[in-house]
Amino acid sequence: MVIFNPVKREREFNHLGIWRWIPLLLLLVFLSSCSALRQSRLSPLETLIKEAKSYSGVPYQWGGNNRKGIDCSGLMVNAFRKINIQLPRTTEEQMTVGKKIRLKKIKPGDLVFFALTEKRRKISHVGLVSDVLSGKKVKFIHASVSSGVTESSLDSDYYRKKFRMARRLEIPE
């Protein structure tokens, strides 16, 4: 017959050295919860840009709207959905939302529109401004036919010539 001896059990437990690991485990739990809190403190603008950048490298697919393949307007729909803003699905429809702004007033979160086809007036491409460096150099995220989702500079000759307009949506603080 086996008799349960709590004192012997406690000595065996202590012998394994379990107690010395408890402070480390508590520290790990605390640090992981701090990390989760930091992530949840992103502003809607930071969340928007982070979401768009998370698609970097996803190949271009006309009409695509997921991580297997995406087009420029689908990328905008998915990024804005992350901050609970619904955008229309096509570039043509997206260029009617928000307020039109001048290029020198552009800031992160704005949409930039381009005429990439031979018909220089027909807007066919959209990107999201991700950064404005020293007030002039504008970087934007978009789904490029040749490179997939990438970040480009509005200062490049190609995009500067094709730029048509910028629009600003109301992004909550």
Could you tell me if 50 and 131 are in contact, meaning their C-beta atoms sit under 8 angstroms apart? no
Which among 48, 49, 52, 72 is annotated as catalytic?
72
Could you tell me if 65 and 74 are in contact, meaning their C-beta atoms sit under 8 angstroms apart? yes
Reduced to 3 states, what is the DSSP secondary structure of residue 75? helix
Query: Which residues lie closer than 8 Å to 36 by C-beta, 6 or more apart?
Result: none
Which among 70, 142, 148, 150 is annotated as catalytic?
142
The 10 Å Cβ neighbour count of residue 76 is: 28
34 tagged catalytic: no
15 tagged catalytic: no
Which among 80, 125, 129, 140 is annotated as catalytic?
125
Enzyme catalytic residues: 72, 125, 142
